[in-house]
Structures are given as structure tokens and as C-alpha cells.
């Protein structure tokens, strides 16, 4: 089991044109596609902790793979 990075684009609830990316890492043993489908509980937890933000899209990346490309 390795780490996966969930990248969530969130926008301010009061100003939907104000958006930013949040990077969340957690242990994962599936594929990137499976991660994207399984991400909803993690996103719901983050939004629950940050009620002024709304998640609008998300994707999963392998943080180790991204570091190799740099």
C-alpha cells in the first residue's frame, strides 16, 4: 500500500469564481481510476471541515510518479 494524492478543486460557496486546489494524501492500494471513484468520503470530510468551500472536481495522482518527472 502506498500514498495517493487526491487533488480537489474547491470554490468559495459565496463566490464560486474564487477557486483553489487542495492536495490531500492518504494510503491507497488501488488504481488512480479507483481512487477517483472512492474519493467522495474524503472530499465530504474535507468539505465538512471547511463549510465555506464547495468541491467542484477532483482527480488522483501518484505523488511518487510526479516527483520523478520533475
Three-class SS of the chain: CEEEEEEEEEEECCCCCCEEEEEEEEEECCCHHHHHHHCHHHHHHHHHHCCCEEEEEEEEECHHHHHHHC
The residue range of the domain holding 56 is: 2-69
6-41 confidence digits (pLDDT tens): 999 999 999 999 999 999 998 889 998 899 889 999
Q: Look at residue 58 in the predicted model and tell me its pLDDT.
A: 96
* Contact partners, residue 21, CB within 8 Å, separation at least 6: 7, 8, 9, 10
32-53 confidence digits (pLDDT tens): 889 988 999 999 999 999 999 9
Structural domains in the chain (count):
1
Q: Look at residue 20 in the predicted model and tell me its pLDDT.
A: 98
56 vs 68, higher pLDDT = 56
Amino acid at each position: 500500500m502506498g500514498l495517493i494524492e487526491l487533488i480537489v478543486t474547491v470554490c468559495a460557496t459565496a463566490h464560486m469564481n474564487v477557486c483553489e486546489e487542495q492536495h490531500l494524501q492518504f494510503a491507497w492500494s488501488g488504481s488512480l481510476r479507483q481512487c477517483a471513484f472512492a474519493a467522495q468520503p474524503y472530499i465530504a470530510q474535507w468539505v465538512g471541515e471547511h463549510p465555506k468551500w464547495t468541491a467542484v472536481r477532483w482527480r488522483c495522482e501518484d505523488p511518487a510518479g510526479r516527483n520523478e518527472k520533475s
